[in-house]
Amino acid sequence: MALLRQRDETRLGLVWERDPALIEADGSVNGDFVAFDFEESLSTGEGPYQHLLIEGDNYDALRALRMTHAGRIKCIEIDPPYNTGNNDFIYNDVFLNKDHRYRHSVWLEFIHRRLLIARDLLSDDGVIFVHIGEEEVHRLGCLLDQVFPGQKVGTFVWRTRSGANDSKEYFRSTDHEYVLCYANSGFTFAGSVKSTDAYSNPDGDERGAWGNDNLVKAHNFKQRKDAFYPVLNPESNVWYAPDPDNVWRFASEAKLKPGQKIRTKPMEQIIREKKILWPGDTRTVRYETMEVLLKAIDDGTAPRNLRRDVPDLEFWVGKTIGYGKPRYKRHLSELKRSEKPFSTWIRPGSDKEAAPEDVISLEVGGTTEGTSLIQQMTGNKDFPYPKPLSLIQGILKQATGPDDIILDFFGGSGTTGHAVMALNAEDDGNRRFIVVSSTEATAKEPHKNICRDICQKRLEKAATGYDYRTKDKMKHVDGLGGSFAYLRTRRLPPGKVVRKLAHGQVWTALQLMHLDILAPKSAVGLLWVAGEEDALLIYLPKTDAAALAALKKRKLRGAVVYSWQPELVAQHAGKAVSVRPIPQFLMERFGLKP
Ligand SMILES: C[S@@+](CC[C@H](N)C(=O)[O-])C[C@H]1O[C@@H](n2cnc3c(N)ncnc32)[C@H](O)[C@@H]1O
């Protein structure tokens, strides 16, 4: 009994080994409110802005985004610190290096807390890709199974470099990384359109174009007894022997057990429907005795499918036997899908071997592609291991449509934002990115700001174009277009939200909730207004006589009006508008009790 109860209560999963002091020091568990400060001088292009670049800790950014973007993100693409133990993961201002006792649990806890919020942001057909290296791939897999139960799509493997032994212990060269993928039920990859070049209609078949396909499958006669049988061409009366190593693709009615069901048509029906391409090789042979047949097998002159080890060899005595191979006449109309699926294997562009024709395999640059691009765009190599643009662009091309929102909350140098802009330029799409990038400032380097100094610069140049110097000349790269707003996260202490919340922060949150976009700051006055005439969003920072008079003058049908004194505004605005309270509304959306 005790054993039974224990079994019921114990779940398969990860068990964290925790140091409470370490976790308490992590500000991300506080019950505070997070607001966004809009930084117009670091934003690019004209408002309303298409994309968002957010500077700050991603736990804060995610909590704020849950208020504005829950259920609306189609694709999350993240590349967290791999926790290699070599200065790539800072936690509470400390690098968690190889000798840190809680290295794996702290990393898992850090990722877990972020994934739990990220999950709420995904749309019903949303998908998440998480990049990872050898060190944590197995633990991360368990964690993702826990956060997204039953939603595993699978793992993609990409080749990062062409080979260099770097493992001192085992004489092994680690040349690949992983991308783990989980998705909600409505998600599928785009695949790519299959070529129909192999289909034509030379015989005027009324069923339309057809291709010459295999009639066999990769099972031997011992594995698939019901698909190993002689086939007769009823028009020529020539028999064809089955291949002992690759039996027929279709079962024979004659071999089925009573009541046995099969998924495909039986061979007899395929023959009746004239879907067999009988061999052009018209040579035949006839053995009148078993002895002659065995001799022909031994001296190699018999048709090659006749072997001493196959059953019922005596059947072939006295029959006219053909040498060629019957094939299958596959009509174009039989294709279940007109696309090829997306392959799990991502190959480097330098790979000489072509991918199989029936899948779409990404061909990407190695790790140096990202580093060279950053150097070209920002003039320095200070950002370690950015992802190759081709990799992220390829994944997003497979996973997103032209109107989707894409989130990267470990944005680093901004490769995901760049890839979104590049993809929009390629297919005239209107995808929007939300990239969160941290400053990476520490007590030792308090002024460091990766988001402002690398990510912002890179994304601005990607949007507007840039020049760079090669060995002997200057080169120009055209801008990809698009605009982004630069936001900073700001933590407001619990209990002080009402007093500390600035009008600009309220306005930013309201716009993101209602309109997705951010208007430029110039939209503000007595009434802060954004959106189209029939879907207006209005914020009243002050509810005084002048503001109420201004409100009266506007056509307000369908408008949503936010005010600190909603009752008063409601009396003046009439029934055609919806008046809502601040900050109660924001705090409720954020998950805090006002
Ligand atoms: C492997 S890099 C991502 C590189 C990125 N894919 C690129 O191509 O530039 C991981 C990034 O996560 C960032 N990061 C780590 N902890 C973070 C946090 N709590 N909030 C936001 N970003 C964080 C680091 O600053 C680092 O830039």
pLDDT band at 454 (very low <50, low <70, confident <90, very high): very high
Distance 213 CA to ligand 1 centre (A): 49
Q: With contact defined as beta carbons under 8 Å apart, do 371 and 385 qualify?
A: yes
What integer pLDDT is reported at residue 95 of this predicted model? 76
Token reading at 492 = 């407001």
Give 181: exposed, middle or buried? Use CB within 10 Å, 0-12, 13-18, 19+: buried
Secondary structure (3-state) at 305: coil
User: Average pLDDT of the chain?
Assistant: 90
| Atom nearest to 387 CA in ligand 1 | 8
Whether residue 594 is predicted with pLDDT greater than 70 in this model: the reply is no
Q: Is the pLDDT of residue 557 over 90?
A: no
Name the least confident of 209-213, 365-369, 400-404.
Answer: 365-369
Residue with CA closest to ligand 1 atom 2 = 412
Q: How far is the CA of 495 from the centre of ligand 1 (A)?
A: 31
pLDDT at 26: 67
To the nearest whole percent, how much of the chain has pLDDT over 90? Answer: 62
Q: Given this model, what pLDDT does residue 574 score? A: 76
Pocket test for ligand 1, best of 438, 440, 459 (most atoms within 8 A of CB): 438
pLDDT in tens, 308-359: 999 999 999 999 999 999 999 999 998 877 788 999 999 888 787 777 777 8
Residue 503 CA to ligand 1 center (angstroms) comes to: 30
Q: What is the DSSP string of 533-570?
A: TTS-EEEESS-SHHHHHHHHHS--TT-EEEESSHHHHH
386 lines ligand 1 (CB under 6 A): yes
In angstroms and rounded to an integer, the radius of gyration of the C-alpha atoms of the chain is 33
Which atom number of ligand 1 is nearest to the Cα of residue 374? Answer: 9
Distance CA 275, CA 278 (A): 9
Pairing of strands 578-581, 231-233: unpaired
Q: Please tell me the distance between residue 393's alpha carbon and the centre of ligand 1 in angstroms.
A: 18
Residue 403 has pLDDT above 90, yes or no: yes
187-196 pLDDT, tens digit per residue, is 999 988 778 8
| Sequence letter at residue 477 | V
Dmax of the chain from CA atoms?
113
Long-range contacts (CB closer than 8 Å, 24 or more residues apart) made by 585-589: 586/33, 586/67, 586/497, 586/501, 586/506, 586/509, 587/33, 587/497, 589/67, 589/68, 589/513
Which pTM value belongs to this model? Answer: 0.84
- How high is the pLDDT of residue 1? 45
At residue 465, the pLDDT reads: 96
Q: Which residue has the higher pLDDT, 351 or 227?
A: 227
Pocket of ligand 1 contains residue 81 by CB under 6 Å = yes
String of DSSP letters for 100-122:
-TTHHHHHHHHHHHHHHHHHHHE
383 Cα–ligand 1 center, Å? 10
Distance from C-alpha of 6 to C-alpha of 8, rounded to nearest angstrom: 5
State if residue 393 touches ligand 1 by the CB under 6 angstroms criterion: no
Q: What HEC string does 220-250 produce? A: CCCCCHHHCCCEEECCCCEEECCECCECECC
Query: Which region among 83-87, 315-319, 384-388 has the lowest average model confidence (pLDDT)?
Result: 83-87
Q: Which of 190-204, 251-265, 361-375, 454-468 has maximum average pLDDT?
A: 454-468
Least confident of 66-75, 208-217, 532-541: 532-541
Kind and range of the H or E run holding 147: helix 137-147
Ligand 1 centroid distance, CA of 439 (Å) = 9
Q: Which residue has the higher pLDDT, 95 or 433?
A: 433
- Protein residue whose Cα sits closest to atom 24 of ligand 1: 412
Q: Quote the percentage of the chain above a pLDDT of 70.
A: 95
The rounded distance, in Å, linking the Cα atoms of 415 and 383 is 12
What confidence category does residue 458 fall into, taking pLDDT thresholds of 50, 70 and 90? very high
Which atom of ligand 1 is nearest the CA belonging to 408?
6
Averaged pLDDT, 432-457: 95
Nearest residue by C-alpha to atom 27 in ligand 1: 412
pLDDT value of position 166: 64
The rounded Å distance from CA 432 to ligand 1 centre is 20
DSSP category for residue 40: G
Q: Which residues contact 492 (CB under 8 A, 6 or more apart)?
A: 32, 33, 34, 35, 500, 501
Distance 214 CA to ligand 1 centre (A): 50
Is the distance from the beta carbon of residue 438 to the nearest atom of ligand 1 less than 6 Å?
Answer: yes
Residue 46 has pLDDT above 90, yes or no: no
Ligand 1 atom nearest residue 413's Cα: 9
What's residue 523's pLDDT? Answer: 62
Query: Does ligand 1 lie within 6 Å of residue 88's CB atom?
Result: no
Ligand 1 pocket member 439 (CB < 6 A): no
- Determine whether the shortest distance from the Cβ of 179 to ligand 1 is under 6 A: no
CB within 8 Å of 312: residues ≥ 6 apart: none
pLDDT tens digits for range 296-310: 999 999 999 999 999
In this structure, are residues 191 and 340 in contact, taking their beta carbons and an 8 Å threshold? yes
Joined tokens for residue 56:
């700050």
Q: Residue range 470-477: average pLDDT?
A: 90
420-397-404 Cα angle (round to 5): 60
Cβ–Cβ under 8 Å, residues 341 and 371: no
Output 526 or 56, whichever has higher pLDDT.
Answer: 56
Nearest Cα residue to atom 13 of ligand 1: 410
d(CA 388, CA 365): 6
Q: Which two tokens stand for residue 136?
A: 């944590």
Atom of ligand 1 nearest to the CA of 57: 20
pLDDT at 565 over 70: yes
**How many CA atoms lie within 13 Å of 90's alpha carbon, on the beta-carbon side?**
12
The sheet with strand 578-581 has its strands ordered as 528-530, 537-540, 560-563, 578-581
Contact status, residue 170 vs residue 374, Cβ threshold 8 Å? no
Contact present, 455 and 412 (Cβ < 8 Å)? yes
Most confident of 178-192, 359-373, 515-529: 178-192
CB-based contacts of 539, cutoff 8 Å, min separation 6: 503, 506, 507, 510, 527, 528, 561, 562, 563, 582
- Would the CB of 123 count as within 6 Å of ligand 1? no
For ligand 1, whether the C-beta of 450 sits within 6 Å is: yes
